[in-house]
Amino acid sequence: MENRRNPLRTVGTGAESVVGTGAAQQAQPAPLSAEWKFNVGDRGAQIVEHAKALGREYEKKYRNCAQCTVAALQGAIEFVPKSGDAFLAATCLAGGATKTGEANCGGFTGAGIVIGLLCGRPRDRFGDPQGGALAGKVFTEVAARYERVLCRVVKEKAGNDCVEVVARAAGWAAEAILKQFSDYGGQAGLGLR
């Protein structure tokens, strides 16, 4: 019987883990510091492309741009926690979280959830005003790829194709995450707006 809270499984090279089933699956690690690095070697561009491909596949099959972006990043980047809670939290953020499309793009917001999960301010550092600075820096790199982050505008720029919206969000976020936390320098050819 399939777990209803876990409809997605990661696919592709070396990724056979479940996207997540909540706190019981994996304890929340400490946020990553700016100095923390993961060696991706020459796989950086491949990881970014894998995130885009997973984003396309998941949005086409399951819908919900925010959740699909979270799942794509969890599936493509080895060091992104497979938190079921992050995936669950993205549920109500699809389609700009409104029926009007006048709120933030769900793919953009899903990327923010993953970045916050990686290097955001934890509850035990709630009083630290600089506790979220690194997450803000990485997320700003993602935001710079967008002309505007309104759902309606992002969708129009992608030819009204939500599958492409998620692919772009996952690719841009993967690139920003890898540039910060690995030896990858970019150049994945994701300059589309």
Q: 79 pLDDT exceeds 90?
A: yes
pLDDT band at 2 (very low <50, low <70, confident <90, very high): very low
User: What is the per-residue pLDDT across 23-46, written as a single tens digit (0 to 9) for each?
Assistant: 333 444 579 999 999 999 999 999
**Cβ contact 128:158 at 8 Å:** no
Written as one string, the DSSP assignment of 76-145 is: H-TTS---HHHHHHTGGGGGGGSSSS-SB-HHHHHHHHHHHHHHS--GGGTT-TTTTHHHHHHHHHHHTT
Please name every residue paired with 182 in a beta bridge, in sequence order, or none if there are none: 38
Q: In whole angstroms, how large is the CA radius of gyration of the chain?
A: 15
CA dihedral 24, 28, 29, 30 (to 10 degrees): -150
By percentage, how much of the chain surpasses pLDDT 70? 81
**Cβ contact 78:85 at 8 Å:** no
Give the pLDDT score at 7: 33
Q: 14 pLDDT exceeds 80?
A: no
Of 60 and 6, more confident: 60
Q: 191 pLDDT exceeds 80?
A: no
Query: Going by C-beta distance under 8 Å and a sequence separation of 6 or more, which residues neighbour residue 177?
Result: 73, 77, 80, 114, 115, 118, 138
CA 6 to chain centre: 17
By percentage, how much of the chain surpasses pLDDT 90? 71
| pTM listed for this prediction | 0.81
- What is the rounded CA–CA span in Å between residue 44 and residue 179? 9
